[in-house]
Amino acid sequence: MQTSLIKTAHSPLIYEVQDFGVALTDACGRLVGEGAALAGFLGCLPPTIQKGLEVFGPDGFEEGDIILANEPYDTGTHISDTVLYMPVFFEGRLVAFTAIMAHWADIGAFAPGGWCPSTTDVHQEGLIFNHLKLYDAGRLNKEMLRLILRNVRTPEAVNGDLNGLIASCNTGAMRFQELCRRYGVETLNGAIEEIFENSEARMRREVSEIPDGVYHGEAYLDHDGVERSKRHRIAATVTIRGSEIEIDFDGSDPVARGPVNHPLVGTRALCATVLKCVTMPDDATNDGHLRVATVKAPRNSIVSPEYPAPCDSYGYVAELVEYVVLKALARAIPHRIPAPSYQMYAYHLVRTGESEHEPFICAEPVDGGGGAFPFDDGPSGIMFLGNGDAPNSPIEILEASYPVRFTRYTFNPENRGVGKYRGGFGVIRELMVTEDKAYLQVSTENNANPLWGLAGGGDAGRSKTVVTFPDGAEHTFDDRVGDVGPLEAGTLISMYTANGGGWGDPGDRDPMRIADDVVNGFFTAEEAAGSYGVDLGRIEEALRQRRSEMSEVKHAR
C-alpha cells in the first residue's frame, strides 16, 4: 500500500516526505498491520474505522465503498490529514478494512495548505468529511468530487493525490483477498487473533519490568496563536502497576482558543507510540500492543478538545504529549529515555488568487536536531519525533516543482544541547523565491520555552526564520508567522532549526567526542571548552591524537 501511494501521489509532501500513514485492520477495526511512514498517524486509523462502524453499522458497507473522514475528534489530528478507508470483502463477507491518513495539498481553509495559525473554530479550517462515501458500491459520487475540487486551491494536485490514495487502498484490499483465497478466512482470522494475544502478552511482560510507581512530566506551549501572551500547560501522570500502565493528563490546561488543541484520539495514539518505543520498538505494531495502556484526560482540554474547538495547528501539542510522557518515564527508566528533539518547524510558501501567475502551495517540514540518548549523541537532521522520522524533501524535486532556488543546506551549529552526550544539530535551509507574489507562513513552537535536556544535559535550542528582501532589508522571526508578503523575486528565506536536548553532565563528555566535533567544524576548541567545562588542554591533546589517526588512515590509503 505504501509503495503504491508513493508511486502514484502528485504532491512532494506525500511521495517524498511521506506525510501519511497506511494500515490494515480486521472487520472490527483492530490494527492488523501498518506501513512504516508517520508513526503518529497509525494509532489514529483504527478508531476512525471503529467510528465509521458506529455511523454505518457493521452491515452498512458494500463492496466498492470508499469513505472519507477528517473531523479531528474522530481522526485524531487536523482536517488536512484526511482519512480514506475501504471495506474489504471476500465471498460476500466483510473481512477487513484498508485505510490511509494523508496530508492533502489543500483542504479549503483560510490558510492555504492547512496549519492555520489563528483559527478559533473548526469550520474555519476547511472542508469537513464526516464519514462520507466518495464511492458507494463502486459508484463515484461525482457531485461530491466536484464540490471538493471546487473548494480547494490546487485541484489538480488534490485530485491526483486522491486517486493515489484510492489506488493504495485497492492494492491493500487485493493483497488481503489473496491471503483469504490462499489460507481461508477462518485460518487467517485465527492467526491474527493469535498474533494479537502474543503481542499483548509480550508487551505486558515488558511493562512489568518498569518499576511500579507514579511519575509526572509537564511542559508549556509558548502560546496558542490567538492569546499570544498566555502559556498553555500539558501535564501527564504515568502510573505503573505490574503489567498495567495508566497515563492521565489531568492538570493539562482547558481547551485553547487558538488551533493548537490535540484531539484525544491522537493523544491516545501518541501515548501508545511512546510506550511501544521504550518497550518493543522492533515489533511490527498491531492491536495487541495497543491494549496495555489506559489513557485519560479531562473533558474538553488542550489534549481532548470537543467540537467545534480548532485543531489545525495540533502538531505542537502532539510533540509535547510525547515528551511529557517520556519525561515522566525518565524518572522510572532513565537508561531508556532520550532527551527531547527539536520542536517541529515547517513552512508554507504559497501563491493563490493572483490571475497573472500560476498558483502553487509549497509545504515542507524542515528537519532539526534529535535528542541525545543515554548512551550516544543525538542524530542530526531528523524530522520531528511526534510523527516519526519522515524523509526530507529533496531540493531538486522542490526546485523542479515550484518557483524556488535553494542556496544553502547545512548543519546549524548555533544551538548546542550540551551534555555527556550532546543533542543532534539542526539545519540551515535557505531558498530564494524566483517569482513575485508568494506569501510565507512559518509554523514553529517552544522558542520562548525551549525543551529540556535530561540528567543534567542542556536544553534543546530555538528555531528562527530570517527573511532578506531584495533591497537588503532583513527581518528575523523567532515565532510562527503567517502571510509574510507578497514577496518579490529575489527574496531570500533562511530557516534555522534547533538542536536536540543533551543528556548527562557536560563536564563528563569524552574529549575525543569534542575533538571530533571540532575537526568537523561545528565549533572551535575554545568554544567547546567553554560550552562543556572541559579543560582546553585535554581537548587540544584529543585533537592532536585524532588528527594523527586521520593522517595515518590517509597515508595508508
Give the pLDDT of residue 204: 95
pLDDT at 354: 65
Please provide the DSSP assignment of 516-539 as one string.
HHHHTTSS-HHHHHHHHT--HHHH
Give the predicted TM-score (pTM) of the model.
0.94
Q: Sign (positive/negative) of CA torsion 318, 319, 320, 326?
A: positive
pLDDT in tens, 447-482: 999 999 999 999 998 999 999 999 999 999 999 988
Helices (H), 395-497: 395-401
Residue 43's alpha-carbon distances to 85, 265, 380, in angstroms, are 14, 8, 27
CA-closest candidate to residue 312, choices 50, 106, 9? 106
Q: What is the pLDDT of residue 388?
A: 62
pLDDT the model gives residue 17: 87
- Predicted confidence at residue 553, as pLDDT, reads 72
How many whole angstroms separate alpha carbon 69 and alpha carbon 158? Answer: 15
Q: CA–CA separation, 131 vs 127, rounded Å? A: 12
Q: What is the pLDDT of residue 385?
A: 61
**Interatomic CA distance for residues 477 and 482, integer angstroms:** 11
Collapsing DSSP states into helix, strand and coil, what is residue 354? coil
- Model pLDDT for residues 306-350, shown as the tens digit of each residue: 999 999 999 999 999 999 999 999 999 999 999 999 998 999 999
Q: In the chain, which stretches have pLDDT less than 50? A: none
> What is the DSSP code string of 272-339?
HHHHHHHH-TTSPP-GGGGSSEEEE--TTBTTS--TT---TTTHHHHHHHHHHHHHHHTTT-GGG-PP
pLDDT of residue 39: 82
DSSP annotation of 369: P
| Closest to 473 in 3D by CA, of 489, 491, 486 | 491
**pLDDT in the model for residue 384:** 66
Question: What is the four-CA torsion angle of 299, 115, 406, 162, rounded to 10 degrees?
Answer: 110
Q: If 0-12 CB within 10 Å is exposed, 13-18 middle and 19+ buried, where does residue 303 land? A: buried
Q: Which three cell numbers stand for residue 178?
A: 489473496
